[in-house]
Structure 1
Amino acid sequence: MIKAIRGAGIALLAVFFAVSFSSYPNNVHAENNDSGQAVSFLYFNDGHEIGPVTDKLGTRGGVARIKTLVDSLKGEKIVAFGGDLGGGTLFGGVFKGFPMVEAFNRIPVDIANFGQHDFDAGAANALELVKASRFQWISSNLIGSDGKPFANVPDYLVIEKQGIRIGMIGLTSAMETTTRDEAVQQQDVIESAKKAVDKLKLENTDLIIALTQEPVSDDKALLAAVPEIRVVFTEEEAEDQSFVYEIDDGKRFVFSPQGNMGSIIRLDIRKDQAGNVNLSHEIMKVDETVAEDGELARLAAQYQQKLDEELGKTVAVITGDLPYGDNHESRFKETAIGNWIADAYRNYYGTDIAFANGGGIRASAKKGNFTLKDAKAILPFGNKIVVAEVTGETVLQALENGVSGVDRLAGGFLQVSGLSYTYDADKPAGERIAEANINAQPIKKDAVYKLALSNFMYAGGDNYSMFENAQTVVGPNEALTDFELLAAYASKLKTVDVQTEGRIVVKGFADVTSRHWAHAAVKELTGGGLMSGVGEGRFAPKISLSRGEVQAAASGFLDSSVSIWEEIGLDGTDANAPVSREELALAVKWLYEKKTAKSVPAETKSPFEDDTQISDKMRTAVAGLSKLGILEGRPDNKFMPKENATRAEFALLLWKVAGY
């Protein structure tokens, strides 16, 4: 029966296929000139889309605008791409990176580092991308099965321009989140960096730059471990802005450009007569204000037309929107789209249960006509859906792994079909599954179940190591891809009408687990009714605090309806207006004095470096609460008085005042 269904699905599909930015004023760009020893280093990354991306954040990116900006800069320059030009989106999943290589050849790019998504279609595909490139790839920590650098690319590179010798290394982490392939292996980032830098020391370089694909926290650890590296260009932290981090009093930097090629980081490198290398930087926005290069705009349009022709056929009608979540709900709670996808896997193979990892769901399904393009946008990685026989104990281990990173919105969270489970976010990782049932009965550890899941998870991706001893029923060589199964299931249904139905129950808050710094405060305050979440399983600790939330908490805290904002002389008429950190300090001072009948110490100066930026009216509150140990600053001993206070910060302050 499985073979008959699979054949029907293949035949069906064969028919269808016939920035705002952050920077620092003391490091502004000075216009380059053709004389003297000077070179500009231009860096961008996250090249999943050949054309501009337009969404709720605005318009950004596109190879045609990148080329315009690169061409606009005169003088010596090095153009570097930081990684991820294949996979991750519909365009990347369909074309597997080759259009981007074609475009980068024309810009031209000089050097590129690998991102993990460059291996989404396998190491063999990545090797073909390297072969098609007229620019130089490097990697200091990815090796092939022969123990040599992957694709025989150099582990470091030195480029000399205008008498300035610039050494570069390339580092890639998170390879466990892409297709598992023995033809490429990730080695330790820091140890690999040390080895590459040791070689660069013999090259008489003036500056060492690291191109990385890893979180900024890891970049900072890299700089601490390898002092010879002066500049790190890393992966994107956000889609709507770029980030610049000054390290060691501004002597070293970490640069993170905007996602989807939304910005270019320009680093101007100058060498004076004494041999000193001076750096300045600029963030160049790649938005609608930048004219498109005609040749590359035509190339992008050709590929877009090809994409539309191949994937534009309607397969079903959806009765209502199926969002995957503006707040990544598919990574911590049940979603209708997650149910639909997992159901598609289970229905096709007739298995007992099915898993769909939330991180693999990359787009929403809109009400109305549903096309293959929509299916591919939702599941762009092209993972094969395999079938295995697993024990109940293995299922429970997988569920525990799935909820172990909910506070980080880790992609391994499991959307499910054929089973239900409850997890408690207040418990430590490894002990969170409170209940798990199949057919309304508790999972039996020694029972054997047929499970449909992606080959990505089955091979150990997202730390799913528990399937090592499972019995394979349908392997990747005979399996269909995830988006093909979703399209086939949609076509079978004709009308798609799915809802959440209690398959996953969340206890506590997934974004404020037991390891969060405000966990105790949030648990006590929400348990006592002084604060509440913003939906199932979500407290939103980083969201800006509103005046209405402070008023509601204050009323419950003091059992009084008096207006706290009138009492402290601030405007509280707009309940949705955000509260700044210095305003919150004044409010908490008032709450403390009302609750304890004690006065906050009348200090006139706070211990924070930015004390002078605190308004005179608020400084006493900040200083006094700080002396009491109630109020703390943010990193680098700064209070950041004008920034919006967060819900977690308020929860912690109120908790301290209450004396829980």
Structure 2
Amino acid sequence: MGKTNKIVASLAATTAMAAAIAPAATADAKDFSDVSDRYVDAVNFLLEQEATNGYSETQFGTQMSIKRLDAAILLANVLGLDTEEVDESGFTDVPERGQGAVSALKAAGITNGKSETSFGSQDEITRGELAIWIQKGFGLKGVEQLPFTDVTDRYEDAVEALLSNDVTSGMTEDEFGTYATAKRGDYAIFLKKAYDMMDEQEGKFELSVMHTNDTHGHIENIAQKKTAIDDYRQYHPEALLVDAGDVFSGTLYFQEFLGQADLEFMNKLGYDAMTFGNHEFDLGKSENGHQALADFVNNADFPFVAANVDFSGDSLFDEMNNGDEIASTPEDGEIYGGIVTEVDGEKVGIFGLTTVETPDISSPVDIAFEDYIAEAKKMVQSFEDQGIDKVVALTHLGYNDNVDYDNDVALAENVEGIDVIVGGHSHTELAPRVVGDEEPTVLVQTGEYSDNLGTLEVEFDENGVVTSYAGELVELDGLEEDAWFASKLAPYTKQVESIKNEEIGVSSDVVLNGVREDVRTGETNLGNLIADGMLAKAQSINPDTAIALTNGGGIRASIDEGPVTLGEVLTVMPFGNALGIMNLTGAEIEEALEHSVEMAPEASGAFLHVAGMKFEYDSSQPAGERIVNVQVETEDGYTPLEADMNYDVASNLFTIQGGDGYTTFEKAYEENRVSEPGFMDYEIFVEYLKSQGDTISPETEGRITDVAGE
């Protein structure tokens, strides 16, 4: 049960009891000379609740502003909050008559005041502030698209909720009046309508979910994640905790501990289920095959769901693989198509899907991947046959990824009966989005690398149809660390730090130039090496890849001559950018190259280093008209770039998603013309350096030439 609905559930009973035992009201709205027909019902409601006696014997104060203190007292009275046995708020500006109400609202999570010590008791409250209080106090949620132009991010969820629940329609068609001073009469209407919504909650059910995806071995902030999870569970004790895949690959934590460090913390955090990402299958061609994955599953204190993954071809999974079975009592460390879990007395079905692109971008070997739409339909039908009408899909498909393979939007559009899709793979920061109207599907995803904890509350009607939702991405950076988790992380971190000084087995006879000014203005031997490695990796996945591009802003240091250490590599590329492969026209490539050199000869982080091509530009010409000649490398040598020809081009996802101003690439990404194998840049670079022999002596090759002045 969610924080706000937990409050509503307990308060509804308390308030109903208070109304039942209250003596007959001694006042009536008609006794007030300023109460027009519009306000009669709302004012009578407050009088019946004994929440107020009006502003005076003859005036309710309908058109008067209301101070924060008085608004707090009214709300606490209507909600039936315990204003006596409650911890003091700590605010120093609250008079005695309102101390209980303000403390109760703070304890319920409805308001935190203006600061740690000030509530702002005598400040006039705005309509936006009231919207937040009412949303939190009554646990309202909404899916309405706001028509208002004056609602900022802070107030968006609250105003959405009020609009969706017919608590208000705003001051005008396009203005809610967020910063307008609230009137006592309007507040009375808000309270009456919100209170009435409690009667409509009968038969409804709320599912709360915490979710993660694409953590890729990033456990350095696991102690902050514990804090975020504990905080959410304080108000949502029945919340599920699930992961949408790609725990494997990406950091030295994974390289050293093969997922077992991550798993220790996942077990302690109490995950309820996980599906597999493509990177869980990266080690299939290694000496030990999928042993690390089998150990990960076997040691987990939670089940795995994988409706479209066939493990029967790999004997390592024989003892834990249950095929497409749906388990009503799932065992930890077992793989099922789906599972059934009970939440607050309601049965919820959970199933998993993994992208069918996996064989192209990872190494599953004898593990097969089946059509995601067909398998999803089977799962939903199986749940429905059991009378389960609340269904969650844990997917590693990508939000709006290349539909030639699969994605979450297509899943929602083509499979009826999925209520929530907790996704991964595309590394998208996706606060709740909805597909469909009559029976909507809510889609979420947290981004990447454990930057955020996703939270979601979804309300269902008695027929199992989603009626409202709310959620957010809780940023972990800056949160207080859980002390116990921090102490458990320390030994892992110490071991990881020690291996940064290890040599990778390659020595350079020359300095690999990553000087900031150099990599942002022209070709360098280090830029070439990075692009070459990216191209080689992309071609191992997609042999048609012809070109690789990497932004100079992503090259952060040089590497001295002599043995190359892992620490040096991580200093050069500290961001953990993943590989992507775009399909671009020659015209789009030239457009991107124009952007690359538009600041030349001034330095720019957007300056591209290239492999598989070379180009000339004239920095003396106007920006946008500088590219003179572009040649693409083929088996027969270099040939001119053709504007209307399509090319597969590798780059990092930062650049592909529009980083450094690459709107051309961003457009391709939004149009699903990008494949995301996801291998980390530093891993790709180390792998490429090792492939070049024990000693390297790279030089610049004339790949990029400024012809100005020639």
How does the TM-score come out when normalised to structure 1? 0.49
How does the TM-score come out when normalised to structure 2? 0.46
Larger Rg: 2
